[in-house]
Each structure stands twice: as C-alpha cells, then as structure tokens.
Amino acid sequence: MKLPTIYLLSVFLAFGTAACKNSNKTEPTEKEVTFIVDTSVTKRIDSVLQGFVDSGNIAGASALIFEKDKEVYYNAFGYADREAKKPMDRNTIVQIYSMTKPITGVALMTLYEEGKFELDDSLSKYAPEFADMKVYKSEDANGNPVLEDVNRPITIRDITRHTAGFGRNSNILGLGPLIEKADAMNRENTLVQMAEKMGATPLYFHPGEQWEYGPCVDVQAFLVERISNQPYEEYVREHVLDPLGLTQTRYFIPENDRGRFAAMYLREGEGELSRVPDENTYPNYFEKWPLTRGGSGLTSTLDDYMRFARMLVHKGTLDSVSILKPRTVELMATNHLDESVEERSFLPSKGQVGFGIDFAVRLRPPTSTEENNGVVGEFFWDGAASTLFWVDPINELTAVLFVQLFPYDQIGLHKNFRDAIYGPYKSNN
C-alpha cells in the first residue's frame, strides 16, 4: 500500500530586472499534503454503507474519519430507529459494548503512569480476591469438579491482554455451570462483589497459556477502583472522559437525551431484520446499576468516540489536554502476546494481529483478499453490535463506524468499510 507523501511546491520570486539577471532563486512558499481519503474514497465509502442499508442487512450506519487532524469523511445512512423513521445521524447515541474496553485500559494506564503498579505484578498483590486461584480440569465420578493449582499467579499484564484464564460463558463443558452459578456479571453486583465471585470460580486455563476473550477488562475496572480508592465510574469520568470533553459517553442516559438513542436490530437472514425488544435494551442505560463494567456498558456518539481515537493517534494528548504520555500509548499499542500462545479463540479472524493493552495490534499486512485490510502498526477494537474503530499512526488516520446490529458482523461490513478506505487487497508477491 502506498503511504501518503508530502510534496513541496515552489514559486519563482522576481526581485527586479537586476536580481533576475543574477539569480533564478526558488523558495518553497506552500506545501501540499496528500490524503488517503480523497473524493474517490468518499464515494466508495458512501456506496458501501448505502449498499448495506439498501440490502436490508442493516437499519442504519454512520461513519467519521479524521486524517492528519482534518475531518475527511462523515456520512450517515438509513435509520437509528426504523420503526419511528428516525434517521441515523451524527448525534445518534449507540451502544458501544466492547469499545468500552480501550477506555477502561486508558483509565488503568493513568495509574500505571503514577507508579501505582507494574504490568508483571501479580493481580492478588492489589486484589487478594484473586489469590489461590484454581484451574478446572474435569469432573470426578460423582460429578464434583477436579481442580488444580495455577502454574503461576495472574498478572496485571494477563488481564490487559486476555490471558488471565477466566472462562467466558456458561457453555464451557464442566466449568460452564460453575460460571453460571457464580453470576459474577449480574448488574446488581458491585465491582467488588463481581471480583469476589470471579475469584472463587475456577479458571478455564492456566494464566498465560491461551488468549480467551472474556471478563478481563471488567477486572481492570475493579482494579482501578481498588488502587485509586474511588468508584470506577467516577474515576474514568474524572481522568479520561471529562478532560477529553466526552460528555456523551456514559453508562446512564438522562431522560432528555433518550430520543437520540438508537434501536438495536437482529439480522435473521439475508435482508431480514427484527428489532431487539426495547425492554431488553433500555433498562441497561435508562436505570443506574451497581455494576459499572469495564468491558462494556458505555454508550457514545461518533464525535465523542472520535475525540478518544484522536487522543490516541496524538499519543495521549488532544487539544492541549494530556491523558497519557506518548510512551504509554506506544506500550498499549505494542503486541504483548507471545507467539508461543497458539490458542487464540477468534482473534485470528481479525487479521494478522497480536494483542496489546486492550487493543488488537496489526503485525503484518493482509495475506489474502478475505482478510480485513489495514496498515501494519494500527491498533483497534470493535463492539458486539458491530461497531468498529481504529487508529492508523502511519497515516495519522482515525476511523469510527457505528451501527447497531446483532449478531456481530456476519455480513462483511467491517471488511468492506476498510477496503473502501484503503483500496482492494494487493499481493506483495
């Protein structure tokens, strides 16, 4: 992929007849910056997003792209609420689900910068709830769980890269019923109660042996609360959200903003969408719950989340407000997943990536037309409702794509959006 370059333009200056006879001096007076997202790219993006709406596979979508501190693309298509004929627009509030995770990671790393912990510290040093962890192995003849001691303690690095060993759901053979019984993620729990229940539940695997997506970032939120001695929701607002002006990024949506909240849709087949019942969605955000998860739970708008992404592309600072130091952002955007970790759940579906601190990190270019497009060095994540963002430091580009679609992107939306920006795959062979 060809990267943008800067061309210096020159003009000839005349200093009178005598000067012209002695010199043809050329001085640069203006520079032209080339952009990836030009007119042809914006047309491609428009065509892609409109096409998904027209096919009936999404109700609505919106996208915002900044490149070199300039807004180079915004558009919205279809409906935020199809039944009410309410268009998707720039101020639509959406559920970002796991795009909450990078925000939590930034909050945690503000404490790292203060010297409050090291990444390879054991989690139990700050949270004794996670001391003496066991790993589930099997069941005995009477149906009782057979457990073994962990090979090593869970570290803070483990909870930032999803290698802690926590089981993800109740479908895990044998372990699943124990996870379900603990019910650690019940929204009536506080973060402390969540941690206590997780600490008493056996692990799925030994720390560091696998990459398994799950509640690691919820434990990060708990850790922020424990180390800072401040409720997590207050800490993240005080140290990340408010300084960046992210007033629309919230766990709780006040009544006067609820008219901007997008409906959620379930794709049941080609061109077939049904609305997820509002009673399944609204209570999560229209009521205040004890559990303020670090791994999901925030809502946001395009412009709010873009400010967060732009802070990252500027290595921790936006509009003279510093959230993190450049070296900390670089640490977060560096792969921490050793090649010896071969079991990686769905992570390989994201492309040629490793994992940093709450971001997937692109290590190599795509190797086929089927893989997601992108630039080596980018870091990104997405959300269960098919939302997506990424930071491309090479091109100083940040992109946010909002949609409210379950199940998670089964229609190639993310790939087509990326291809529209970067162009089709080109083999290096």
Residue at 287 is within a domain: yes
Residues 314, 402 within the same domain: yes
Where do we find the tokens 């996870």? 179
Q: Half-sphere exposure of residue 382, counting CA atoms within 13 Å on the CB side?
A: 21
Residue at 3 is within a domain: no
Question: What residue ranges of the chain have pLDDT lower than 50?
Answer: 1-30
Residues 62, 200 within the same domain: no
Give the type of residue at 235: Y
Residues 158, 255 within the same domain: no
| Alpha carbon distances (Å) from 126 to 157, 208, 222, 428 | 14, 19, 10, 48
Q: Which of 101, 98, 94, 91 is nearest to 58 (CA)?
A: 94
CB atoms within 10 A of CB 370: 10
Domain boundary among 224, 253, 270: 224
Residue at 300 is within a domain: yes
Domain boundary among 224, 245, 273: 224
Asked if residue 1 lies in contact with residue 426, where contact means CB atoms within 8 angstroms, the answer is: yes
Residue at 19 is within a domain: no
Q: Which of 241, 244, 243 is nearest to 252 (CA)?
A: 241
Residues 398, 362 within the same domain: yes
Residue at 367 is within a domain: yes
Where residue 68 falls (left for φ over 0; alpha for ψ -120 to 50; beta otherwise) is: left
Residues 268, 326 within the same domain: yes
* pTM summary value: 0.92
What was the pLDDT predicted at 313?
A: 98
> What token pair was written down for 406?
């379950």
Residues 245, 104 within the same domain: yes
Asked if residue 79 lies in contact with residue 248, where contact means CB atoms within 8 angstroms, the answer is: no
DSSP string, 288-320: --S---SSS--EE-HHHHHHHHHHHHTTTEETT
Where residue 96 falls (left for φ over 0; alpha for ψ -120 to 50; beta otherwise) is: alpha
Residues 204, 243 within the same domain: no
**Rounded Cα–Cα distance for residues 133 and 240 (Å):** 32
Residues 400, 364 within the same domain: yes
Range of 304's domain? 39-109+230-422
Asked if residue 146 lies in contact with residue 135, where contact means CB atoms within 8 angstroms, the answer is: no
What was the pLDDT predicted at 18?
A: 37
Cβ neighbors of 176 (< 8 A, separation 6 or more) are 167, 169, 170
Residues 246, 134 within the same domain: no
- Which segments of 378-424 does DSSP mark as H helices, in order? 413-422
Residues 179, 249 within the same domain: no
**Rounded Cα–Cα distance for residues 358 and 377 (Å):** 15
Residue at 302 is within a domain: yes
Asked if residue 184 lies in contact with residue 201, where contact means CB atoms within 8 angstroms, the answer is: yes
> What token pair was written down for 1?
């992929």
- Assign residue 52 the CATH number of its domain: 3.40.710.10
How many domains does the chain contain in total?
A: 2
**Rounded Cα–Cα distance for residues 402 and 384 (Å):** 11
Q: At what angle do helices 39-54 and 413-422 cross, to 10 degrees?
A: 160
Residue 407, preceding peptide bond in cis (omega within 30° of 0): yes
What was the pLDDT predicted at 428?
A: 65
Residue at 7 is within a domain: no
What was the pLDDT predicted at 96?
A: 98
Where do we find the tokens 């790939």? 415
Residues 390, 285 within the same domain: yes
Phi, psi (deg, nearest 5) at residue 54 = -60, -30
What was the pLDDT predicted at 28?
A: 46
Residues 181, 262 within the same domain: no
Domain boundary among 208, 224, 240: 224
Residue at 30 is within a domain: no
